[in-house]
Amino acid sequence: MVDVTSSAPDLLRTADGRPLKAALAAAQRKAKWRAFFLVLPLLAFVVLTFIVPILKMLERSVNHDGFSSNAPAMVAWFNANPATADIPEEAYAALVTDLKQMQKDKTAGAAGTRINYTVPGTISVFKSAARAAEKMTPPYKDALIASNKMWADPLVWVAMRNASSAYTSDFYMVSADLKRDAADNLVRVEDNQRIYVYLFAKTFVLSIVITVACLLLAFPIAHLLAVLPMAKSNLLMILVLLPFWTSLLVRTSSWIAILQEQGIINDLMVWIGAYGEDGRIRMIYNQTGTIIVMPHILLPFMVLPLYSVMRVIPPSYARAARSLGATSWTTFRRIYLPQTLPGIAAGSLLVFILAVGYYITPALVGGADGQLISNLISFHMNKANWSMAAALAAILLAAVLILYWLYDRLIGIDRLKLG
Amino acid sequence: MALPVYASPLERVWYYTFRTLCALIFLFLVAPILIVIPLSFNVEPYFSFTHKMLALDPSGYSLRWYDTLLTLGVNAPDDAVRDSTWWGMVWEQATWVKAAKNSLWIGMWATILATVLGTTAALGLSRPEMPYRRLIMALLISPMIVPIIIIGTGLFFFYSSACVSPDSWLGWALSPVLSAKGCLANSHLGIILAHATLGIPFVIITVTATLSGFDQSLIRASASLGANPRTTFFKVIMPLILPGVISGALFAFVTSFDEVVAVLFIAGPEQQTIPRQMWNGIREAISPAILAVATILVIVSIAMLATVELLRRRSERLRGVTPH
- pLDDT given at position A4: 47
End-to-end CA distance of chain A: 61
Q: Express each pLDDT in B126-151 by its tens digit.
A: 888 888 888 999 999 999 999 999 99
Task: Identify whether residues A306 and A220 lie together within a single domain.
Answer: yes
Nearest Cα of chain B lies from the Cα of A153 at a distance, in angstroms, of 35
DSSP B321: P
| CA dist., res. A125 & res. A142, Å (int) | 16
- pLDDT given at position A128: 86
Nearest Cα of chain B lies from the Cα of A28 at a distance, in angstroms, of 7
**Does B3 contact chain A (CB < 8 Å)?**
no
Residues of A in contact with B297 (CB under 8 A): 246-247, 250
CA distances from A252 to A32, A294, B255 (A): 46, 9, 16
Residue of chain A minimizing CA distance to B35: A254
Task: Identify whether residues A261 and A272 lie together within a single domain.
Answer: yes
| CA dist., res. A419 & res. A342, Å (int) | 17
Q: Tell whether A2 is covered by a domain.
A: no
Backbone phi and psi for residue A137, each to the nearest 5 degrees, phi listed first? -125, 155
Residues of A in contact with B137 (CB under 8 A): 413-414
Q: Provide the number of structural domains found in chain A.
A: 3
| CA dist., res. A106 & res. A92, Å (int) | 20
Query: Residue B207: how many CB atoms within 10 A of its CB?
Result: 26
Residues of A in contact with B124 (CB under 8 A): 34-39
- What is the pLDDT averaged over residues A47-67? 92
- pLDDT given at position A9: 52
Q: Provide the number of structural domains found in chain B.
A: 1
Task: Identify whether residues A390 and A309 lie together within a single domain.
Answer: yes
Instruction: pLDDT band for A264, please (50, 70, 90 cuts).
Output: confident
Task: Identify whether residues A224 and A353 lie together within a single domain.
Answer: yes
For strand A186-188 and strand A178-180, is the pairing parallel, antiparallel, or unpaired?
Answer: antiparallel
- Tell me how many helices (H) and strands (E) chain B has: 16, 0
Q: Tell whether B172 is covered by a domain.
A: yes
Cβ under 8 Å to A: B residues 102-141:
113, 117-118, 120-121, 123-125, 127, 129-131, 134, 136-141
Size of interface A-B (CB pairs under 8 A): 270
Report the CATH number that the domain containing residue B139 is assigned in CATH.
1.10.3720.10
Domain span at residue A126?
Answer: 72-193
Query: Residue A319: how many CB atoms within 10 A of its CB?
Result: 12
Task: Give me the amino acid identity at A55.
Answer: L
Closest by Cα among B90, B257, B281 to A245: B257
State whether A393 and B139 contact (CB < 8 Å): no
**Does B282 contact chain A (CB < 8 Å)?**
yes
Q: Tell whether B126 is covered by a domain.
A: yes
Q: Express each pLDDT in B33-63 by its tens digit.
A: 998 888 888 888 877 787 778 778 888 888 8
Q: Tell whether A266 is covered by a domain.
A: yes
Nearest Cα of chain A lies from the Cα of B68 at a distance, in angstroms, of 18
- pLDDT given at position B319: 65
Task: Identify whether residues A209 and A98 lie together within a single domain.
Answer: no
**Does B208 contact chain A (CB < 8 Å)?**
yes
- pLDDT given at position B249: 94
Query: Average model confidence (pLDDT) for chain A?
Result: 87
pTM of the model: 0.89
Q: Express each pLDDT in A151-204 by its tens digit.
A: 888 888 888 888 888 898 889 988 888 888 777 788 888 877 788 999 999 999
Q: Tell whether B131 is covered by a domain.
A: yes
Task: Identify whether residues A247 and A376 lie together within a single domain.
Answer: yes
Q: Tell whether A228 is covered by a domain.
A: yes
Q: Tell whether B17 is covered by a domain.
A: no
- Identify which of B47, B258, B293 has the shortest CB distance to residue A262: B47
Q: Express each pLDDT in B5-34 by its tens digit.
A: 777 888 889 889 999 999 999 999 999 999
| CA dist., res. B250 & res. B241, Å (int) | 14
State whether A253 and B36 contact (CB < 8 Å): yes
Angle in degrees, 0-180, between the axes of helices A108-116 and A89-105, rounded to the nearest 10: 120
Query: Average model confidence (pLDDT) for chain B?
Result: 86
Q: Express each pLDDT in A65-124 by its tens digit.
A: 888 888 888 888 888 888 777 788 888 888 888 888 888 888 888 888 888 888 888 888
Instruction: pLDDT band for A381, please (50, 70, 90 cuts).
Output: very high
Q: Tell whether A223 is covered by a domain.
A: yes
Question: Which letter, b or e, does each residue of B54-72 get, where b requires 16 or more Cβ atoms within 10 Å of its Cβ?
Answer: eeeeeebbeebbbebbbbb
Q: Express each pLDDT in A284-301 by its tens digit.
A: 888 888 999 999 999 999
3-state DSSP call for residue B163? strand
Backbone phi and psi for residue B61, each to the nearest 5 degrees, phi listed first? -110, 150
Which residue did the predictor score with more confidence, B323 or A119? A119
A187, burial (CB in 10 Å: exposed 0-12, middle 13-18, buried 19+)? exposed
B159, burial (CB in 10 Å: exposed 0-12, middle 13-18, buried 19+)? buried
- Alpha helices by DSSP H, A152-195: 154-163, 170-175
- Identify which of B21, B47, B301 has the shortest CB distance to residue A260: B47
3-state DSSP call for residue A180? strand
Q: Express each pLDDT in A314-366 by its tens digit.
A: 989 988 998 998 888 899 999 999 999 999 999 999 999 999 999 999 999 88
Nearest Cα of chain A lies from the Cα of B225 at a distance, in angstroms, of 20
Q: Tell whether B1 is covered by a domain.
A: no
Q: Express each pLDDT in B162-213 by its tens digit.
A: 787 777 787 777 777 777 777 888 888 999 999 999 999 999 999 998 888 7
Please enumerate in sequence order all residues whose Cβ is within 8 A of that of A289, keeping only pairs 6 or more positions apart, or say none. Answer: A255, A259, A283, A365, A366, A367, A370
Closest by Cα among A59, A45, A415 to B138: A415
Q: Tell whether B39 is covered by a domain.
A: no
Q: Residue A8 pLDDT more than 60?
A: no
Task: Identify whether residues A140 and A160 lie together within a single domain.
Answer: yes
Instruction: pLDDT band for B322, please (50, 70, 90 cuts).
Output: very low
Question: Which letter, b or e, does each residue of A90-111 get, where b requires 16 or more Cβ atoms within 10 Å of its Cβ?
Answer: ebbbbbbbbbebbbeeebbbbb
**Dmax over Cα atoms in chain B, in whole Å?**
85
Task: Identify whether residues A30 and A171 lie together within a single domain.
Answer: no
Tell me how far the alpha carbon of residue A137 is from its chain's centroid: 50
State whether A358 and B147 contact (CB < 8 Å): yes
Residues of B in contact with A56 (CB under 8 A): 154, 157-158, 161
State whether B149 and A241 contact (CB < 8 Å): no
Q: Which of A193, A211, A226 is the last residue of a domain?
A: A193
**Does B142 contact chain A (CB < 8 Å)?**
yes
Which residue did the predictor score with more confidence, A110 or B77? A110
| CA dist., res. B204 & res. B196, Å (int) | 12
**Does B254 contact chain A (CB < 8 Å)?**
yes
| CA dist., res. A368 & res. A364, Å (int) | 10
Q: Tell whether B270 is covered by a domain.
A: yes
Task: Identify whether residues A226 and A138 lie together within a single domain.
Answer: no
| CA dist., res. B55 & res. B301, Å (int) | 30
- pLDDT given at position B320: 60
Q: Tell whether B181 is covered by a domain.
A: yes
Please enumerate in sequence order all residues whose Cβ is within 8 A of that of A129, keeping only pairs 6 or more positions apart, or say none. Answer: A99, A108, A144, A147, A148, A151
- Identify which of B141, B251, B312 has the shortest CB distance to residue A413: B141
Nearest Cα of chain A lies from the Cα of B81 at a distance, in angstroms, of 32
- pLDDT given at position A1: 44
DSSP B234: I
User: Are the CB atoms for B172 and B166 separated by under 8 Å?
Assistant: yes
State whether A46 and B139 contact (CB < 8 Å): yes
Task: Identify whether residues A138 and A89 lie together within a single domain.
Answer: yes
Please enumerate in sequence order all residues whose Cβ is within 8 A of that of B228, keeping only pairs 6 or more positions apart, or say none. Answer: none
Q: Express each pLDDT in B274-300 by its tens digit.
A: 999 999 888 886 778 888 999 999 998
Domain span at residue B146?
Answer: 96-318
Instruction: pLDDT band for B112, please (50, 70, 90 cuts).
Output: very high
Q: Residue B89 pLDDT more than 60?
A: yes
Backbone phi and psi for residue A315, each to the nearest 5 degrees, phi listed first? -70, -15
CA distances from A178 to A174, A175, A185, A195, B22 (A): 5, 7, 10, 11, 48
Task: Identify whether residues A364 and A400 lie together within a single domain.
Answer: yes
- pLDDT given at position B140: 93
Report the CATH number that the domain containing residue A347 is assigned in CATH.
1.10.3720.10
Q: Tell whether A66 is covered by a domain.
A: no
Task: Identify whether residues A172 and A110 lie together within a single domain.
Answer: yes
| CA dist., res. B179 & res. B183, Å (int) | 5
Instruction: pLDDT band for A44, please (50, 70, 90 cuts).
Output: very high
Interface pTM, i.e. ipTM: 0.88
| CA dist., res. A71 & res. A75, Å (int) | 6
Instruction: pLDDT band for B101, please (50, 70, 90 cuts).
Output: very high
Residues of B in contact with A245 (CB under 8 A): 254, 301-302, 304-305, 308
State whether A50 and B265 contact (CB < 8 Å): no
3-state helix, strand, coil in chain B (%, to 5): 70, 0, 25
